[in-house]
Amino acid sequence: MGGLPAGKVEPAEHDYADWERRVDALMIILSGGKGGRKLMTVDELRKNIEALPPDAYDRMGYYERWVTSITQIMIQRGVITTDELGRKMAEIDKRG
């Protein structure tokens, strides 16, 4: 978590899962990159990540925190509702 000692960072290239690439692309699009409409800021992303409870923060990976934060931003800004999100998640779950 921000400001807490975390040990040495080992920089290394690695392959990203498809969903991680999608989350990264979503961040770029929603933050107005590539000339799109700006629906969020990096500051909002950071604020919502920092607001995660410590146990959730520790349990989630880097892109899991991003997608959780992006979801919260879209709800906070009224871009999506929790009902819409729930319906879409149920639809996807049925596809199995």
Q: What residue ranges do the domains of the chain occupy?
A: 18-95
Averaged pLDDT for residues 46-63: 96
On average, the pLDDT of the chain sits at 91
Q: Could you tell me which residues are beta bridge partners of residue 31?
A: 38
Q: What is the mean pLDDT of residues 66-78?
A: 97
**3-class SS of residue 30:** helix
At 3 the pLDDT is 64
The predicted model gives 15-28 an average pLDDT of: 95
Compute the distance between CA of residue 42 and CA of residue 40 in angstroms, rounded to an integer: 7
- Given the candidates 3.40.50.720, 2.30.30.100, 1.10.472.20, 1.20.58.1030, the CATH classification of the domain at 18-95 is 1.10.472.20
Q: Is the pLDDT of residue 48 over 90?
A: yes
Percent of the chain exceeding pLDDT 90 equals: 78
Neighbours of 60 (CB within 10 A): 15
